[in-house]
Amino acid sequence: MNWPRDTSARDDARDDALYQQVKLLVRAERRLYASRIELDRQLARIRALNRFALEAGRSVDARWILERASTLLFELFPLDQAVACLAEGDRLCLAAIAAVPGREPQETVRLPDSRYFAPFPQDFFERPLAGPAREVAAQHACVEVPLGWMEALFGGSDRAAPSEALVLALPLLEKDRRPLGLLLARNPEPALISPHDRPPEEDDAGFLELVGSHLAAAVENARLHAELERRVAERTAELDANLRALREAQDQLLQAGKMAAVGTLVAGLSHELSKPLMVIHGYAEALLDEGPESPQAKKGLAAIARQARRCQDLVDALLDFSRKGPPQRDRVHTRDLVGRIAQLARSHPKCREVELRCEVAPEAEVEIFVNRSEIETALLNVVNNALEAAAPGTAVVLSVQGRDQRSEGDELQRGIEFLVADRGPGIPPEIRSRIFDPFFTTKPVGQGVGLGLSLTRQMIENHCGRVEVDSSPGQGTRVSLWVPRGEGPTPVVIE
C-alpha cells in the first residue's frame, strides 16, 4: 500500500519535535539533579557549620576548637592534613595539628615547640586561598612558614611534589580585622582525588569566610576565657594572701590586747607582792644569821628564804616582761659582755657537769651600742637554757662573730651575732613554734615560769635585732642572737 507522501512528512516532523522535547526534558532533569546535589551539599555544609558553631561555642579550649575546625574542613573538602597557627604577640606559633586516620604526623610534637615559632608575617591576607601550594605561597609569602611546618610534620608524598599539593589557607581575623591566626589544610596527593569530591574553589570563598569568622570568634572567646581565668586565679590568690594577712593582723592585735591587759595586771600584782616578799625574805635571812638551835627550824627557815627568793625572781621577771619604753643604751665592748655572761653562768649548778666555752672572733671585738642590762639578761637566759639541756660531759659554746644583714629597706647593716650551741636532746618539732610564747615551758612545775625566751626575743627586738633557733632532735640546739652594732654618741676624749 502506498501511503500519502504528505502524511509521512508530518510524522517525521512530529518525531523530531518529540525528540527535541525529550532532550530538553533530559537536560532539565540533569540540571534538577545537579541542583539537588548542590542543594544537598550546601545543606550538609550548613548543618556541619551549625554543629561546629554549637560545639565551639561551648568549648573554652582553643586547641580543641582548631582541631574540630580542621575536622570540619576534612568533611567538606578532599583535605586530610591540617595545622593551625595563632598570633602570640609579635610571633606566629603552631597551636594545633589534625589529620584523617592514616595521615597522622610522622613525629610526636609537644605544642608549642621552640621549632614552631616564627615572626608574625607582614603580608597577612583577609580572604581564603585555595590551590596548589606553589601558587598559594606565591600569592602570600606568609603561608610559606606553615607550609614548611606541615612538611616537617607530615612529610611529602611519593606521587606528588610538596609544591603540587592541594592547599586551603583560611585566615582568622579578630573583630577589628586584626590577624588572629591561620588554618592551613592540604591534600598531598591531588591526583588521587575522587571525581565525586569537589576541591575548594573560588565560589566557596563566601562559605569559607563564614567558617573563618565562626572559628575566629570561638578562638577569641576561648582566649578571653583563659585570660579571665588567669586573672581570677591571680586575684583569688591575692585575696587569699590579703585575707591571711588580715587574719594574722587580727590575731596579733588580739594577742597584743591580751598581753597589754596581762602586762597591766602583772605590773600591778608584782608591785604589790614585791614588798611583802622582801619582808619575808629579809626576816628569814635574819633568823638564819642568828643561828637557830633546832635543825628542823634552820631547815624550815632556809626553805622559807629560798622560796621567797624564788618568788622575788618571779616578780622581777614579770616586771621585766610588762615594762615598756625604749631602753637606755650605752657603749659596751663585746669581750666585756661575754666575760660578764661567763661569770654569771658559771654559778649555775649544771656548770659542774657541762663545760662553758666562750669564743670571740677578732672582727667581733668591738663596741656595740646597746642596753647592757637587757643584752646580758637575754644572753644569760639562752646560756642557762643551753646548760640545762646539755648532756653531762659535753660543752656549751658561746661564740661571737661579725655578721652583716639586709634590713627591710634592703640596706646592709653591720651587726654582731651571739651564737649559743649545745649538744642536748634538741627541741621537738611539735613545740618549736611555741618556744617564744609567754608562760610556755617544758620544765616541771616550780622550776620555770616560761618567760625566758619570750623576754629574750622582746629585748633583742627592742634593739632591732633578730632571734633564730635551729634545732634537730638528738643533735642539739643553736640559738642566734643578732643585734646591729649601732652608731651611738661619739665618745668624748678628755686630755
More confident residue, 294 or 232: 232
Which pLDDT score, from 0 to 100, does residue 490 have? 45
Q: Which of 60-69, 219-228, 316-325, 349-358 has the lowest mean pLDDT?
A: 316-325
CATH code: domain 55-228 is: 3.30.450.40
Which pLDDT score, from 0 to 100, does residue 155 have? 76
Which pLDDT score, from 0 to 100, does residue 40 have? 83
User: What is the tens place of the pLDDT at every residue in 251-302?
Assistant: 878 777 766 676 676 666 666 777 787 788 787 788 777 777 778 887 887 8
Which pLDDT score, from 0 to 100, does residue 328 have? 72
Mean pLDDT (whole number) for 217-233: 91
Q: Is the pLDDT of residue 180 over 80?
A: yes
Q: Name the band, by pLDDT with cuts 50, 70 and 90, for residue 216.
A: very high
Q: Is the pLDDT of residue 3 over 60?
A: no
CATH topology agreement for domains 242-321 and 327-484? no
Q: Name the band, by pLDDT with cuts 50, 70 and 90, for residue 317.
A: low
Contact yes or no for 143/95 (Cβ under 8 A): no
User: What is the tens place of the pLDDT at every residue in 96-118?
Assistant: 999 988 888 866 666 777 788 88
Which pLDDT score, from 0 to 100, does residue 5 have? 52
Q: Is the pLDDT of residue 314 over 80?
A: no
Contact yes or no for 130/143 (Cβ under 8 A): no
Q: Is the pLDDT of residue 183 over 90?
A: yes
Which pLDDT score, from 0 to 100, does residue 446 have? 53
Q: Is the pLDDT of residue 471 over 50?
A: yes
Mean predicted lDDT score pLDDT of the chain: 81
β 129-132/166-173 pair status: antiparallel
More confident residue, 312 or 166: 166
Q: Name the band, by pLDDT with cuts 50, 70 and 90, for residue 428.
A: confident
Which pLDDT score, from 0 to 100, does residue 257 have? 72
Q: Name the band, by pLDDT with cuts 50, 70 and 90, for residue 460.
A: confident
Cell readout for 250 is 587580727
Strand partners, 166: 132, 187
Q: Name the band, by pLDDT with cuts 50, 70 and 90, for residue 304.
A: confident
Backbone angles phi, psi at 400, to 5 degrees: -125, 130
Contact yes or no for 184/155 (Cβ under 8 A): no
Which pLDDT score, from 0 to 100, does residue 64 have? 93
Contact yes or no for 186/150 (Cβ under 8 A): yes
Contact yes or no for 68/55 (Cβ under 8 A): yes
Q: Name the band, by pLDDT with cuts 50, 70 and 90, for residue 493.
A: very low
Cell readout for 302 is 632556809
State how far the Cα of 241 lies from the Cα of 248, in Å rounded to an integer: 10
Residue with cell 615551758: 441
Cell readout for 376 is 646580758
Which pLDDT score, from 0 to 100, does residue 157 have? 54
In the chain, % of residues over pLDDT 90 = 16
Q: Is the pLDDT of residue 449 over 70?
A: no
The overall longest dimension of the chain from CA atoms, in Å, is 183
What class, spelled out in words, does domain 327-484 have in CATH? alpha beta
Which pLDDT score, from 0 to 100, does residue 491 have? 42
Q: Name the band, by pLDDT with cuts 50, 70 and 90, for residue 231.
A: very high
Q: Which of 136-150, 242-256, 290-304, 317-331 has the lowest mean pLDDT?
A: 317-331
Residue ranges of domains in the chain: 55-228, 242-321, 327-484
In the chain, % of residues over pLDDT 70 = 85
- Topology, domain 242-321: Helix Hairpins (1.10.287)
Q: Is the pLDDT of residue 319 over 50?
A: yes
More confident residue, 407 or 454: 454
Mean pLDDT (whole number) for 2-21: 73
Q: Name the band, by pLDDT with cuts 50, 70 and 90, for residue 159.
A: very low
Q: Is the pLDDT of residue 161 over 60?
A: no
Closest-CA residue to 153 (of 178, 176, 184): 184
State the helix-helix crossing angle for 205-290 and 5-58, rounded to 10 degrees.
10
The pTM assigned to this predicted structure is 0.51
More confident residue, 256 or 78: 78
Q: Is the pLDDT of residue 470 over 80?
A: yes
Which pLDDT score, from 0 to 100, does residue 324 have? 54
Q: Which of 25-34, 296-305, 362-371 has the lowest mean pLDDT?
A: 296-305
Which pLDDT score, from 0 to 100, does residue 321 have? 59
